[in-house]
Amino acid sequence: MLISEVASILSAEFINPSHDFEVDTLVYDSRKASNSTRELFIALPGTHHNGHDYIPSLYQLGIRSFLISKRINPGDYPEAAFLLVSDTLVALQNLATYHRKQFDLPVVGITGSNGKTIVKEWLATILEQQWNVVKSPKSYNSQLGVPMSVWNLEKTHQVAVFEAGVSRTGEMEALERIIQPTLGIFTNIGNAHASGFESPEAKIAEKALLFAHCEKLICRLDHTSIVRQLGNLKATLITWGISQPEASINIVPSGSYFNFHYQGQQSTFSIPFSNPFDLENIFHTITAALVLGESNTHIQQAVNKLKPVPMRLELKRGNNNTHILDDSYNNDFMGLSIALDYLRQQPQKQRKTVILSDMLQSGKDPKVLYSGINALLEKHSIDHLIGIGPDIVQNQAAFSMPFEGYLSTHDFLRSAPAFTNETILVKGARDFELERVVHFLEEKNHGTILEVNYEAITHNLKVYRQQLKPQVKLMVMVKAFAYGVGVEEIAHLLQYHKVDYLGVAYLDEAVTLRRKGITLPIMIMNVDWSSFDLLETFHLEPEIYSLSMLRYFLEVTDNPPPVHLKIETGMNRLGFRSEDLDALMTILHQNPQLKVSGIFTHFSSSDAADEDDFTRKQAATFNQAYEKLAEALGYSPIKHALNSAGIMRWPAFQFDMVRLGIGLYGFDSSGTTNQLKSISTLKTKISQIKPVKEGDSIGYSRMGRADREGSIAIIAIGYADGYSRLFGNGNAYVMVNGQKAPTIGNICMDMTMIDVTGLDAREGDEVIIFGAQPNIRELAQWAQTIPYEILTNVSQRVKRVFVSE
């Protein structure tokens, strides 16, 4: 599409109309832009980052087409075309709406509180066996994600599956115009985003607007409030229910099979799930497939391939100093593009390899398809491509980078190629079972993992950024292995999101970050005096907290790096006291070569309302000290005092910078917000299930006793993994398939026993130690400690997996 056509569609002011570029790619994140003139950059305004600010650097990169809402001087960009509109997000939505209207095909629109993404993925998996399907990538269901999804519609597509999510009243109407679904699925209603609606009924009514012009609508008969609301629409309502003859589709269980009775026909399917959440999702999916006319054979074949949990992009540590980016569930062009963007966000290793299967059901000529994939790989500077499948091997001439081809996953595993010091993206269609490749490449720890959600971290970062006044900088603390989460991966994520500083406790943490490619300024809170010589080498900024430390620092450093001066205001930890200030100013006068980057303090009770007078006293003491030192220096260093709780409770004391710590990881000790998301889930597996008789003893010292005949499960976690002995003997519970299972007996070093009597549990089942339930706050209460300790206690032998929805 030409820029002039876009201008006409949007009624935009066309600046520099002599440059009428052809564009086919929309970019709204400057970090994901390439040097292609076929990209249209959409400058979205934001509280702390405005897309218009990146136009100069993008122009230097090679971008030549821009959608803007802030007038620019075209003389500064003589080779670029600009489209000026009043609101760039609305313009993007209008462009996607126009694009959608060019297609006449079945479009499935999915909304609800939970299950949207998995129903979309599962339904697409079924439909892909017969039709060329376009779908929302990942969880692209927002005001921004929906138009970006719909833009991917092409003439070769035969059916579309899009999801839509809203967080407040007034949002769904725009998404309905963009998607224009012909078939709708309303999954369920829950508490997510409840604060944006007056009532549950208002939330249902808002979501139901997606189906204003639908022909048919699917929902569960048991969700009576949803059924009632959808009954007001013009669409034909198709309900499903379990052993409910009054439903449009009556699903009758029969052993491990389910009989679907629909329009006088019976369809029987074997479903490999037992969890009620998975069953609801698969029933929505199969119902939609039947309504769309999919055959029973195709449905069953696809169901056999499905997994019981949403498949997400996961970053794992591999053998030989590698990282594995696991996106092995499906393979389409847009999904590959997103995965490659994530790969670019992970600069731990300079060398980048992609393991890619055949791209099935693309609807494109193979030469055109693989030529386009090559262009995408080139754009992301991929060093090495490994193709798995007969199609990609047959078309290997399309690739410009070094290529290795294998006809099957088995052939690849049999050859056992070695990888060292690189990041490897594994992206494949479900048929190729590339999870076997991931298992071959990843670090082999035991079955316990700490799963960390990138989106939750990014969300929490955004929550705190929204509290900040303009121009206030943000330091994020990543000490103690990033609060036990994984310092290397978290630091790279924060660098990608352009925080201003990182903070660590010790020098070795900072040196590790530098060696892993972190270039952000780093403040070290407690430097070993014997290591001062390394600060300049690695461009690190130490906290200086005493006269003796400062004198020694100046004595042993010929060219001292910038420092942060810590002021003691009542915490009574490290810091210069008020009586030290005159001597400190004298030293600063005598050493003008020393640059002071920051002056800071720490509020001891910023989270405690009953100590607010003391916090104000600390702030007054700090202000006096800062003014003295700044006057002595002749300039104003960065002034910072607030921690996570302080950011929420003390906006008046934001000064020049704040220090975000535990809040990033999902905990608000101030008690002033419920917006934060839990970022991590500790999970393990059942190693063995065994029967016990009444009176049997269990575990060390025979502390556990079976009070009845039943069953226990042994799970692969113990106090060496950070699961405290305090949790033993029924003092804690874990979750098995959505069911509470209390501990029984003492916690062992590497194992724990749980009581699974009467529960649906099998060997190999996943066990949640903490996550949504039980949450870390509960574990902290059981252990009579604080969430910080629970999180930081997770042993480094526990494998960290970083997931992105």
The CA–CA distances, whole Å, from 214 to 109, 133, 179, 219, 591 equal 9, 19, 11, 13, 74
Question: Is pLDDT above 60 for 193?
Answer: no
Which domains are seen in the chain, by residue range?
Answer: 3-86 (3.40.1390.10), 94-303 (3.40.1190.10), 313-442 (3.90.190.20), 452-665 (3.20.20.10), 680-804 (2.40.37.10)
pLDDT band at residue 482, thresholds of 50, 70 and 90?
A: confident
DSSP 329: S
Give the residue, 673 or 751, on which the prediction is more confident.
751
Two structure tokens written together for 97: 């709406």
Residue with tokens 């790096």: 561
- C-alpha span between 554 and 404 (Å, rounded): 56
Asked if residues 388 and 401 have their Cβ atoms less than 8 Å apart, the reply is: no
Find all residues with CB under 8 Å of 699, minimum gap 6, and list them: 728, 744, 745, 746, 748, 753
Instruction: Give the dihedral of Cα atoms 575, 577, 582, 585; nearest 10 deg.
Output: 20
- pLDDT above 70 for 310: no
Provide the residue count of the chain: 805
Q: How far apart, in whole angstroms, are the C-alpha atoms of residue 460 and residue 777? A: 17
Alpha carbons within 13 angstroms on the beta-carbon side of residue 89 total 14
Question: pTM of the prediction?
Answer: 0.79
| 105: its two tokens | 């095909």
Is 700 catalytic? The answer is yes
Q: Please classify residue 11 by burial: count the beta carbons closer than 10 Å to its beta carbon, then call 0-12 exposed, 13-18 middle and 19+ buried.
A: exposed
How far apart (Å, rounded) are the C-alpha atoms in residues 41 and 54?
Answer: 10
In single-letter form, the type of residue at position 681 comes to T
DSSP-assigned states of every residue in 276-340:
HHHHHHHHHHHHHHHHTT--HHHHHHHHTT--SS---EEEEEETTTEEEEEE-S---HHHHHHHH
d(C-alpha 581, C-alpha 623), whole Å: 13
Other CB atoms within 10 Å distance of the CB of residue 527: 24
Which amino acids are annotated as binding site for substrate, given as ranges? 573, 749
Cis peptide leading into 774, omega within 30 of 0?
yes
Q: Residue 154 and residue 100: Cα distance in Å, rounded?
A: 10
- Catalytic choice (116, 203, 479, 639): 479
CB distance 97 to 6 below 8 Å: no
- Give the count of beta carbons closer than 10 Å to the beta carbon of residue 429: 23
* pLDDT classification of 341: cutoffs 50, 70, 90: confident
Predicted pLDDT at 308: 63
Written as six digits, the tokens of 407 are 């006809």
Alpha helix positions (H), 575-651:
581-590, 612-633, 644-649
Task: Determine which helix (DSSP H) or strand (DSSP E) holds 460, and give its type and residue range.
Answer: helix 454-465
Mean pLDDT of 363-376: 89
Each residue's pLDDT tens digit, 437-477:
998 998 876 689 999 999 899 999 999 999 999 899 999 99
Classify 346 in phi/psi space as left (phi over 0), alpha (psi -120 to 50) or beta.
beta
Q: Which of 59, 496, 506, 700 is catalytic?
A: 700
Mean pLDDT score of the chain: 92
Q: Which residues pair with 740 in a beta bridge?
A: 735
Residue for token digits 């809402």? Answer: 69
3-state secondary structure labels for all residues of 370-407:
HHHHHHHHHHCCCCEEEEECHHHHHCHHHCCCCEEEEC
| Parallel, antiparallel or unpaired: strands 710-715 and 752-755 | antiparallel
**C-beta atoms surrounding 749 within 10 Å:** 10
Q: Which residue has the higher pLDDT, 312 or 782?
A: 782
pLDDT band for 794, please (50, 70, 90 cuts). very high
Q: How far is CA 381 from CA 30, 341, 612, in A?
A: 17, 11, 53
- Residue 359, amino acid: M
Consecutive H or E run containing 326: strand 322-327
3-state SS assignment for residue 746: coil
- The answer on pLDDT for 309 being more than 90 is no
The reported pLDDT for the residue numbered 182 is 97
Residue 184's pLDDT is 97
Residues 6+ apart with CB under 8 A from 237: 216, 217, 219, 227, 230, 231, 248
Residue 430 to residue 328: CA distance in whole angstroms: 7
- Residue 743 has what pLDDT? 97
| Cβ-based neighbour number of residue 764 at 10 Å | 11
Are residues 303 and 421 in contact, defined by beta-carbon separation less than 8 angstroms?
no
Q: How confident is the model at residue 729, as a pLDDT?
A: 94
β 422-427/322-327 pair status: parallel
* Residue 57 three-state SS: helix
Query: Is 479 marked active-site?
Result: yes
The pLDDT assigned to 194 comes to 62
Contact present, 805 and 117 (Cβ < 8 Å): yes
Does 413 have pLDDT greater than 70? yes
Centroid of chain to Cα 461 = 12
- Classify residue 442 by its DSSP letter: B
Residue 478 is predicted with a pLDDT of 94
Higher pLDDT pick, 361 / 777: 777
Angle (deg, nearest 10), helices 547-556 and 581-590: 10
Which pLDDT band holds residue 639 (cuts at 50, 70, 90)?
Answer: very high
Q: Is the pLDDT of residue 81 over 80?
A: yes
Nearest Cα neighbor of 693 from 679, 710, 676 is 710
Q: Could you read off the pLDDT of 544-578 as tens digits, one per residue?
A: 999 999 999 999 998 899 999 999 999 999 999 99
Query: Rg of the chain's alpha carbons, rounded to an integer?
Result: 29
Residue ranges of the alpha helices (H) in 187-223? 200-208
| Per-residue tokens: 238 | 């198709």
Query: How far is the C-alpha of 725 from the C-alpha of 529, rounded, in Å?
Result: 37
515 is written with which tokens?
A: 């060696």
Q: Which pLDDT does position 205 carry in this prediction? A: 95
Note the Cα 700 to chain centre separation in Å.
40
What is the pLDDT, as a whole number, of residue 789?
92
Q: Which amino acid is at 447?
A: G
- Run of H or E residues at 551: helix 547-556
How many contiguous H segments (helices) and E segments (strands) does the chain have?
Answer: 26, 38
Q: Stretch 631-647: mean pLDDT, rounded?
A: 95
Which residues are documented as binding site? 573, 749
User: Pairing state of beta strands 13-15 and 81-84?
Assistant: antiparallel
Please give the DSSP secondary-structure letter assigned to residue 236. E
Q: Would the pLDDT of 176 be above 80? A: yes
Q: Phi, psi (5° rounding) for residue 783?
A: -95, 0
Instruction: Work out the angle between the directed axes of helices 3-10 and 88-100 (0-180°, nearest 10).
Output: 100
Beta strand 236-242 with 216-220 is parallel
Q: Which of 1-5, 45-49, 172-176, 771-775 has the lowest mean pLDDT?
A: 45-49
Identify which of 632, 658, 612, 379 has the alpha carbon closest to the alpha carbon of residue 500: 658
- For residue 457, report the phi and psi dihedrals to the nearest 5 degrees: -65, -45
Q: What is the percent of the chain where pLDDT is above 70?
A: 98
And the tokens for 191? 């508490």
